[in-house]
Homo-oligomer: A and B are copies of this chain.
Amino acid sequence: MIIKTTCTPASMFSGERFSVTYRIYGDEKEARAKAESICIEQTVEFPAECVGKGTIRDHVFGKIESFERRHGDSFHAVISYAVEIAAGELTQLLNVIFGNTSIKPGIRVEHLDLPFTLTTGYQGPRFGRKGLRELLRIPARPLLCTAIKPMGLSCDELSDMAYHFALGGMDMIKDDHGLTDQRCSPFEERVKKCAEAVGKANKETAGSTIYVANITGPSSKIRDRAIFAKKAGAGGLMIAPGLAGFDLMRELAEDDSIGLPILTHPAFLGSFVTGHGGMAHGVIFGQLARLAGADATIFPNFGGRFSFSRDECAAIVQGTVEPMGHLRTIFPAPGGGMSLSRVPEMLETYGRDLIFLIGGGLFQHGPDLAENCRHFRTMVEKME
């Protein structure tokens, strides 16, 4: 049985296409067959032989634009899709890129090439690198960020910690991503006290430190938490799109009644990068974070307690800065088991456009938190 497509005119398709580079494991024959199946799986999900000549075959099917061996064990296939099938929705764009194909082993999304007609539908990062530097009044040096933790402390203890971090000259003080709305540190009380504590320290030091509230939580409460945080004096928001959804982050970023910088946290996204399938680090932590409006992307630094390589971290940086239409460049924020001793090596790898995210390591340097922060900041300033 052949499906005819008499009612959908070709004029509904502009001819503009976006491209996804897939790394496909296997021998050439197998990899090419997989590339061909992606063209169908990600679009019509329907037996190709049942689709007659016409608009669907010409425009809706994915098209292999190139196919070549790039590694001994795998091939790179660039497959293009009509921008119209993504329907101007981030959720559907993700679906076309990798929806069903995510379930097939040995296929990895390596890169996205999105034409202007597609990116123009996204506001992207509200601040980006430039805006965040202006907000924090730091024209050139790396930014310094730390986290209040551990979970289990009271709001008074956490805000006291935030106060000392700010006194010591950290630029951004964020909630640990595990702090949401636990009874020992409820969201509203914590955010109010921490924002106040950081404000108090700013007055004493004439500083511009911002408190970044973690607003990850139940879907329908996230916007309310963002607005509460803003009113309470938070200077930024953190959200984990793996838990809350990339599209919800996009909506927050595009919401003019919020208008705070957004840090994205990688929690629950790791499975995309730990296997042979999934997505390349630069796509999920770089390009997608940026398309969805993050101003900075947190990820595990190489050589820490996670397993990212230096190359994988460099690929994330590439995703934060490569041309993507009008989308602003964003800050990479490597962290995770960082210690002060790693600073020189990181500056060498990342350059100065990065956010140093240091958590537990600040506690291990000496007994005085503010003093530990000053030491860290001085070390970074000296290296300018």
Which residues of A pack against B, CB within 8 Å? 1, 3, 5-8, 12, 37, 41-47, 50-51, 55-56, 59-60, 84-85, 87-92, 94-96, 98-106, 149-154, 156-157, 176-178, 180-184, 216-220, 240, 242-245, 247-248, 251, 266-279, 300, 305-307, 336, 359-360, 363-364, 366-367, 369
Contacts and interface: CB of A to CB of B under 8 A. Distances in A.
Given A8-B154, A87-B181, A150-B60, A103 B274 contact: yes
A268 to B, nearest CB: 5
Contact of A218 (B91, B183, B274): B91
Contact of A240 (B95, B151, B279): B95
B178 A99 contact: yes
Nearest to A99: B267
B180 A92 contact: yes
A106 B272 CA distance: 13
Nearest to A362: B1
A243 B92 CA distance: 8
Given A85-B151, A243-B247, 13 more contacts: A1-B363, A6-B157, A91-B240, A92-B180, A92-B181, A103-B270, A103-B274, A103-B300, A104-B270, A219-B247, A271-B277, A271-B278, A275-B278
A247 B218 contact: yes
Contacts of A360: 45-47, 50
B45 A240 contact: no
A341 to B, nearest CB: 15
Contacts of A363: 1, 3, 46-47, 50
A94 B102 CA distance: 20
A154 B8 CA distance: 6
B183 A274 contact: no
Contact of A84 (B85, B178, B183, B307): B183
B182 A87 contact: yes
A152 B240 CA distance: 34
Of A45, A278, A300, most B-chain CB atoms within 10 Å: A45
Nearest to A252: B219
Given A45-B178, A245-B244, A278 B274 contact: yes
A272 B95 CA distance: 15
Contacts of A307: 103-105
Contacts of A278: 271, 274-275
Contact of A364 (B1, B59, B89, B96): B1
A245 B266 CA distance: 15
Contact of A251 (B56, B87, B183, B219): B219
B98 A268 contact: yes
A94 B268 contact: yes
Contacts of A99: 177-178, 240, 242-243, 267-268
A154 B7 contact: yes
B153 A5 contact: yes
Contact of A92 (B5, B92, B105, B217): B217
13 contacts: A3-B363, A7-B157, A8-B184, A12-B183, A91-B180, A91-B216, A91-B217, A92-B216, A95-B240, A102-B268, A103-B300, A220-B251, A245-B245
Contacts of A90: 218
